[in-house]
A and B are shown apart, each in its own frame.
Chain A
Amino acid sequence: MAESKSLRVAYGEALAEIGAEHKEVVVLDADLAHATMTAIFADKYPERFYNMGIAEANLMCAASGFAYSGLTPFVSTFAMFGAGRAYEMIRNSISYCNLNVKLGFSHSGLCVGEDGGSHQSIEDIALMRVLPGMTILVPCDSIEMKKAVRASLDIPGPVYIRVARPVVDSFTNPEDEFIPGKANILREGSDVAIIATGLMVTEALEAAEKLSKEGVSASVVNMHTIKPLDEKCVLEMAEKCGAIVTAEEHSIIGGLGSAVAETLAGKSAAPFIRVGIQDKFGKSGKPSELFCEYGLTGSNIADQCKKAIAQKK
């Protein structure tokens, strides 16, 4: 039986695990420790946990101060208030000085559901991606989340880990390699390649399954690292399959779709379609209903794959 675990619980557990070996790790939160699950770390290492209150700008700059002093701060809040509200603090006080701060922001994307558009961060990847030197990891299940937290320690400089809220059935394997910047190919096919990230990876697998029943052979790539992007993999997929569909729980502007488009531009004429949020804001509703309404489903990915294949010359 696959383990079902919320990605944020996996994030909190991972922090507590690395905390045992890495005394230089400190964790900072902004009155959301029980939502981001840094509370799991705080319970175990209260002397290395700092609640900064509802003050995200100060949170980021305080983390910067810790990093300047040789510590490794993991900073958590909701993606909206971290990547969004405190953007310029991250830009100038963390990224611009290439400081070793790990940003684990939770409640990203539409899966926040009922809280509505004000809380659904559909632009955090875009915001982080334009920062030189920022690594961006988007784990798809709790097994991968734990690997991402560990891997972030070995990356000197700032790392953004996108932590989705829902409980997800784990489908990757503990023994699978997780190398930041190197995509994992989950399924080999020849007609179209689906490049997906985060919660959309399972939807991509579902799409591939659906397509195979209709005689269409799809590759599925788990692009867990948005930056640096595995450009080699993207170009090889374009060459091999001749059609690319990206899938992300994020705006189609600035995220995975854009990163793949930038890679393909001038190098591949393969038809290319982006599945994601089509340049509009989110709203309140059950996550599953919103995913249907915004086209973040396996069946929409499958439809878009067929469209891309039909565009092949």
Chain B
Amino acid sequence: MDKKQKARELRAATLTSIYGAQSGHPGGSLSVVEILQALYYDVANIKPEDPQWEDRDRIVLSKGHACPALYAVLADKGYYPSCDLDKLRQADCHLQGHPDACKTPGIDVNTGSLGQGVAIAGGLAMAAKHNGRSYQVFAIVGDGELQEGICWEAAMSAAHYKLDNLVVLLDYNGLQIDGRNDEVMSLGDIMKKYEAFGFDCQAVDGHDADAIASAIRKPVSGKPRFICCKTVKGKGVSFMEDQAGWHGKAPSKEEYEQAMKELGVEING
């Protein structure tokens, strides 16, 4: 299937699950789709039929609130049945409001408390080297998330330990909950910051899965990598795009139907 069509379908599945739950985070889920696509459908070395395979690449959604998009990807990849998405966030379902490795197959690390995932990813990358294993570790962070001091502690140690098996991917959508990053707490020049911390840095269009994948494939040795993926929060649904108000609220019936129409996906059932 054409990648753009796949992205539309993943967005539709994501929104459908949030609509069904009547809670969740559409904005940051829609912006992260192509980053997940580049990893799960292209570069990452994974075996959906064997989620615990020891040599798999590890993928950490540090901005854990965007998990509805990740859940849609994991279902599509066959980690669990797609119908599980209908029960997102419900008391009898494994799909928690934030990723839970103890409950959901395919999730490597628990996240939801911002900043911790990227630091755990550093630990995974250190442990891979410690154990003489060659898998890579990918961490997906939000721009608001980077305000957490722990992200910079993690960046410092990643460079110190020369974690060239670690890739930090930033979903750079410019928004957080209370507004634009620049209004709430400016990030400054994020590329220069990561460069100063000792990372190999690249900037790409965050809605071009191929561009993200080839940035990840660029060979780098002796340094951790940072890929700044420029994205639009709420991407794919006109009225959600670039709106802080769509960070953490579910669409109404009319909004949902409108969104599905824009995504060109028929509503089932």
Interface of B is mostly: loop
Q: With A53-B144, A54-B148, A119-B112 as known contacts, state yes or no: A284 contacts B91, CB within 8 Å.
A: yes
Closest-CB distance, B110 to chain A (whole angstroms): 7
Interface residues of A in 22-63 (CB under 8 A from B): 29, 31-35, 39, 51-58
Name the residue in B91, B98, B112, B144 with the highest tally of chain A Cβ atoms < 10 Å from its Cβ.
B91
A81 to B23, CA, bound (A): 20
Chain B positions within 8 Å of A285 at CB level? 89-92
Cβ of B145 under 8 Å from chain A: yes
Does B174 touch A at the CB level, under 8 Å?
A: no
In the complex, the chain A residue whose C-beta lies closest to that of B116 is A85
Kindly state whether residue A189 has any CB partner on chain B within 8 Å: no
- Of B96, B177, B184, which one neighbours A117 at CB under 8 angstroms? B96
Which of A65-73, A169-177, A286-294 binds B?
Answer: A286-294
- A34 and B89 in contact, given A114-B23, A116-B100, A119-B98 (Cβ under 8 angstroms): no
B177 to chain A, nearest CB (A): 5
B97 touches A116 (CB 8 A): yes
Q: Which residues of B contact A53 (CB under 8 A)?
A: 144, 147, 176, 184-185
Contact with B along A1-37 (1 / 0, CB 8 A): 0000000000000000000000000000101111100
A284 touching B97 in the complex, CB below 8 Å, given contacts A114-B24, A289-B91: yes
Measured in the bound complex, the distance between the Cα atoms of B176 and A118 in whole Å is 19
B146 nearest CB across to chain A (Å): 8
CB–CB B176/A54 < 8 A: yes
- The reply to whether A55 and B149 contact each other, CB–CB distance below 8 Å, is yes
A245 and B148 alpha carbons, distance in the complex (Å) = 41
Interface positions of B from 184 to 204, Cβ below 8 Å from A: 184-185
- The verdict on B21 contacting chain A, using a C-beta distance below 8 Å, is yes
Number of A interface residues, CB 8 Å? 32
Contact A31 B184 (CB under 8 A): yes
- Interface residue A187 (Cβ < 8 Å from any Cβ of B): no
When A and B form their complex, which 7 residue pairs have the shortest distance between CB atoms, in order from nearest? A53-B185, A285-B91, A118-B112, A116-B97, A53-B147, A115-B97, A114-B89
Closest residue on chain A to residue B250 by CB atoms: A114
Q: Which of A237-284 contact B (CB under 8 A)?
A: 283-284
Tell me whether A309 is interfacial, beta carbon within 8 Å.
Answer: no
User: B114 interface residue, CB < 8 Å from A?
Assistant: yes
- Is A80 in contact with chain B by the CB < 8 A criterion? yes
Q: Please give, as numbers and ranges, the residues of chain A lying within 8 Å of B147 by CB-CB distance.
A: 31, 53-55
Does B24 lie within 8 Å of A52, measured CB to CB?
no
A284-B112 in contact given A55-B185, A117-B100 (Cβ < 8 Å):
no
* Interface membership of B64, Cβ < 8 A: yes
**Given contact pairs A32-B178, A283-B91, A54 touches B97 in the complex (Cβ within 8 A):** no
**B127 touches A (CB below 8 Å):** no
Would you list 23 pairs from A and B whose C-beta atoms are within 8 A, ordered by A residue?
A31-B147, A51-B185, A52-B185, A53-B147, A53-B176, A54-B148, A55-B148, A55-B185, A113-B23, A114-B24, A114-B97, A115-B23, A116-B96, A116-B98, A117-B96, A118-B98, A118-B110, A118-B112, A284-B89, A284-B96, A285-B89, A285-B91, A293-B91
